Amino acid sequence: MAQRIAVLGSTGSIGTQTLDVIERYPDLFTARVLIAGSKVDMLIEQCRNFRPRRAVIAREDLYATLSEALSPLGIECAAGADAVADAMDDPDVDTVVTATVGYSGLLPTIRAIKAGKRIGLANKETLVVAGQLVTGLLAESPSTVVPIDSEHSAIYQCLVGETPESVDKLIITASGGPFRRYSARQLETVTVEQALHHPRWNMGAKITIDSATMMNKAFEIIEARWLFGIPGERITAVIHPQAIVHSMVQFVDGAVKAQLGLPDMHLPIRYALADATRLESDCPKLTVADYSRLTFSQPDPHKFPCLTLARYALDRPGNTACIINAANEIAVDAFLHGRIGFTSIYPLIMATVDRIDHIDSPSLDDYIATDSEARAAAREWVADHSL
Ligand code: MG
C-alpha cells in the first residue's frame, strides 16, 4: 500500500516540492492530508489535483472559502490551530512532512511525534527552539525522523553504515548568501531586494533572509547538534559558494565523506519520503566534470555575527535558542517591512536575549511563554529603533 502522507505547509516552497515527489511516485506515496497557513486558493487547487481525505487551513476566517470549494468533492475541511494539530495524529496517516517555516511548526511536530508518526523534518525551528525537549520525546516514541534540510540530509546519508564513536566532526556547508563579498560597511545599507536575491537556492523569504545573515547556518548547527547528538564544538560551518557539496562528515581516522548533488530539494525530500532509501529519478543530475573548481573557506564571524549565535545558544542550553529564534522571526519581519536595517538584526536578537530570563530545563509551557515574551521584547526594540 502506498505510504499515506500529511504535508504540513503544503503551499510553501518545500510543501509544493513534496507534492511533486508524491505525484511522481503514485504507487509509493499518496497525499492524505494537506495543511496550509493562509494561501487558500492554492490549497484548493492542490486538493483538486491530489484528492486528499482532509484539508486544513490555519486561518479560521478562510474556512468557508475552503469548505465551499472542497466539501462537494467529499474532502473533509477544517480550520484553526487546533485543527492543524489534530491533523498530526490522523490514524489514516503514516508520515508527516513538516514543511512550515518558523516556531509555528513546533506544536504540530510534537503532536506527530507523540502519535508515533514517521517524520520528514523540514521545519528546522522544531529542533532549534526545543531540541532538548523534542529529542527526549523522540527517545520515548516509536516515531522516527529523517531530515529534509539539505545539509542534514547530506550528513544523514554520510552516516549510513558508520558508528557514532567513529564520527569526529560534522562540516556544514553554506553558500555564503548574497553578501559573501560585501564589506561590513556595505552591509549597513543593503536593501530588502538585495537580501532576497539568493545566488543558489530558490526558497521562501524568511529562510532567504536567514541565509543572508547566516542565521540559517547557526540554526542548522543547532539542528545538527540535536539530530545527530554531536556536541556543538564538533560542528563547523564552511563557505562553499557553488552549493554542490551539501555537507560532510569527518571521521576519527581522518577520512571525510561528503554528499554532492545539484542544489535541488527534490533529492532530500525523495530520500526522506522513501525512508532513507534511493528512488530512480528523472530530475537533472550532477555532472561532476562540469565543476572544475569547488572551493571552501572559513566564514567571517565579524561580518556575519548571527553565525556565532549557534555556539552562544549551545553553550547556554535551555531556552536560549528559543529566545534567539523568536527575536530573529520579529527581526526578519521588521527588516522585510523596511522598519529596521539589515545590520540591526543581530543587535536586536542580543538585546532580546539580555531581557528574557534563562531557564535551564524548560517544559513545553516554558518554551511557549519564552517565545511570546521574547517576541514582545523584540517588538518593543523594533518600535524604539524603527527607521
Ligand atoms: Mg539548509
Q: Is the pLDDT of residue 236 over 90?
A: yes
Question: How many angstroms separate the alpha carbon of residue 124 from the centre of ligand 1?
Answer: 9
Confidence at residue 204, expressed as pLDDT on a 0 to 100 scale: 84
Question: How many angstroms separate the alpha carbon of residue 353 from the centre of ligand 1?
Answer: 24
Confidence band for 273, pLDDT divided at 50, 70 and 90: very high
Contact (Cβ atoms closer than 8 angstroms) between residue 98 and residue 73: no
Supply 326's cell numbers. Answer: 523568536
Question: 138-152, 192-206, 237-251 — which is least confidently predicted?
Answer: 192-206
Question: How many angstroms separate the alpha carbon of residue 150 from the centre of ligand 1?
Answer: 5
Confidence at residue 200, expressed as pLDDT on a 0 to 100 scale: 78
Question: How many angstroms separate the alpha carbon of residue 351 from the centre of ligand 1?
Answer: 26
Q: Is the pLDDT of residue 387 over 90?
A: no
Integer angstrom CA distances of residue 365 from 216, 244, 259: 25, 41, 38
Q: Give the tens place of pLDDT for each residue, 26-73.
A: 999 999 999 999 999 999 999 999 999 999 999 999 999 999 999 999
Question: How many angstroms separate the alpha carbon of residue 143 from the centre of ligand 1?
Answer: 23
Confidence band for 81, pLDDT divided at 50, 70 and 90: very high
Confidence band for 91, pLDDT divided at 50, 70 and 90: very high
Question: How many angstroms separate the alpha carbon of residue 65 from the centre of ligand 1?
Answer: 34
Confidence band for 198, pLDDT divided at 50, 70 and 90: confident
pLDDT mean across residues, the chain:
96
Question: How many angstroms separate the alpha carbon of residue 122 from the centre of ligand 1?
Answer: 9
CA distance 21 to 25: 7
| Burial state string for 261-292 with b = 16 or more CB within 10 A and e = fewer than 16 | bbbbbbbbbbbbbbeeeeeeeeeeeeeeeeee
Question: How many angstroms separate the alpha carbon of residue 280 from the centre of ligand 1?
Answer: 23
Q: At what angle do helices 125-140 and 106-114 cross, to 10 degrees?
A: 20
Q: Give the tens place of pLDDT for each residue, 286-321.
A: 999 999 999 999 999 999 999 999 999 999 999 999
Confidence at residue 202, expressed as pLDDT on a 0 to 100 scale: 77
CA distance 97 to 14: 9
Confidence band for 97, pLDDT divided at 50, 70 and 90: very high
End-to-end CA distance of the chain: 57
Question: How many angstroms separate the alpha carbon of residue 217 from the centre of ligand 1?
Answer: 7
Q: Is the pLDDT of residue 197 over 90?
A: no
Q: Give the tens place of pLDDT for each residue, 322-381.
A: 999 999 999 999 999 999 999 999 999 999 999 999 999 999 999 999 999 999 999 999
Question: How many angstroms separate the alpha carbon of residue 307 from the centre of ligand 1?
Answer: 14
Question: How many angstroms separate the alpha carbon of residue 241 from the centre of ligand 1?
Answer: 13
Question: How many angstroms separate the alpha carbon of residue 1 from the centre of ligand 1?
Answer: 31
Integer angstrom CA distances of residue 218 from 76, 152, 301, 349, 354: 40, 13, 11, 13, 19
Q: Is the pLDDT of residue 203 over 90?
A: no
Confidence at residue 51, expressed as pLDDT on a 0 to 100 scale: 98
Question: How many angstroms separate the alpha carbon of residue 176 from the centre of ligand 1?
Answer: 12
Question: How many angstroms separate the alpha carbon of residue 41 from the centre of ligand 1?
Answer: 28
Question: How many angstroms separate the alpha carbon of residue 102 from the centre of ligand 1?
Answer: 14
Question: How many angstroms separate the alpha carbon of residue 301 from the centre of ligand 1?
Answer: 19
Question: How many angstroms separate the alpha carbon of residue 18 from the centre of ligand 1?
Answer: 16
- In sequence order, what are the beta bridge partners of 57? 36, 79
Question: How many angstroms separate the alpha carbon of residue 321 from the centre of ligand 1?
Answer: 17
From the list 73, 264, 249, the residue with the least C-alpha distance to 152 is: 249
Question: How many angstroms separate the alpha carbon of residue 3 from the centre of ligand 1?
Answer: 25
Q: Is the pLDDT of residue 137 over 80?
A: yes
